[in-house]
Amino acid sequence: MTQQTWDEVGGLLPHDEFRTASEAIVTNIEQVIEGKTATVRLALAVLLAEGHLLIEDVPGVGKTKLAKALARSIDCSVRRIQFTPDLLPSDVTGVSVYNQETHDFEFRPGAVFANLVVGDEINRASPKTQSALLECMEERQVTVDGVTYQLQTPFMVIATQNPIEMEGTYPLPEAQRDRFTARIAMGYPGQAAELAMLDGHGATDPLQELRPVSDAATVRQLIAHVRQVHVADAVKQYAIDLVTATREAPELRLGASPRATLQLLRTARAVAALEGRDYVLPDDLQALAVPVMAHRIIPTADAQLARRTTDAIVSDLVHRLPLPHDRQRSPYDTRPSAGNGRPPYEPRRP
């Protein structure tokens, strides 16, 4: 990596500072989102993995609140797009407008020119408008009238959508879904969490009182820290085996892409860092397989008739695939060996 790129991303943080900064963001979001710690941490992991997040669930469970709470916890530029059937691609990317004073066209940036872009109900817009996000999500740039504009770092799209069975929705194209690092569901809160929500949200909206606890420069440093998390060769091979299993599964007519392999590993690095580790475990890949891969695959007609969801198919593949056996020990690892004579997965210390 060149020095210029490192300057754009940020310097490395010590482990204790990384933990303090990341826990501050999680705690801040949980002032708004009650009883969803795992979901909040996964959303933060996607940000630190330099990915994009798709939140899919029924109306009223807090999809938009999670997206806005994450955005407001970081002192950076935030733009919100309300996707509607009449939204145009130029509303998203920007448009060149003729200036009568200068007798020339000038570019007016669209809503994607921000660090965090919150796209509410993305599947209510037409596929033409949805595709306006393809270039910026993958290449971190926007091209309008032959001119390419670079986007800010960090850059993340947090989109919400209702299930496709809801009236007035358009299913996301395969290329669009594949650009989202993970798809998560909020789910209904537990009774205790819903009771706490009534007490905390009954008179005021905590989202309005939320204050930033981090900034864009700190997030760049957190990302740089995540990039240094070690992944053993055996764990990399296990990630490839997981993705290959989706391509060979008889219940699927479209398996996960190579982009899925890359984003599975990146997200696993972020999860490991949030757990206080500087190395990735196969357990991280198993836990992330469904949110990272299930939205990218397409079941066969027979699987759909049998009402087999993509989440269930990926979960079954994870349970059937054997764990890797190559468990080399690091010279810095003082833990006892496993019962089979092989040491556990190694941490790598800087």
Residue with tokens 């070690």: 230
pLDDT at 165: 63
What is the model's pLDDT at position 348?
A: 43
Q: What percent of the chain has pLDDT above 90?
A: 56
Task: Kindly report the average pLDDT of the chain as a whole number.
Answer: 85
Q: Read off the pLDDT of residues 225-254 as tens digits, 9 standing for 90 and up.
A: 999 999 999 999 999 999 999 999 999 999
pLDDT in tens, 94-139: 998 988 888 888 889 999 999 999 999 998 998 889 989 999 999 9
CB 347 within 8 A of CB 278: yes
Confidence at 305, pLDDT banded by 50, 70, 90: very high
Q: What CA–CA distance (Å, rounded) separates 303 from 13?
A: 47
Predicted confidence (pLDDT) per residue in 70-82, tens digit: 989 998 888 999 9
Nearest-Å Rg of the Cα atoms of the chain is 21
Q: What is the dihedral of CA 20, 21, 26, 32, to 10 degrees?
A: 120
Give 332 or 210, the one with higher predicted confidence. 210
Query: Which is more confident, 18 or 335?
Result: 18
pLDDT at 145: 87
* Structure confidence at residue 157 as a pLDDT band (50, 70, 90): very high
Peptide bond into 154 cis (omega under 30): yes
Query: How far is Cα 345 from Cα 123, in angstroms, rounded to an integer?
Result: 41
Residue 40 near residue 31 (C-beta atoms within 8 A): no
**Domains of the chain, CATH where assigned:** 10-228 (3.40.50.300), 229-322 (1.10.8.80)
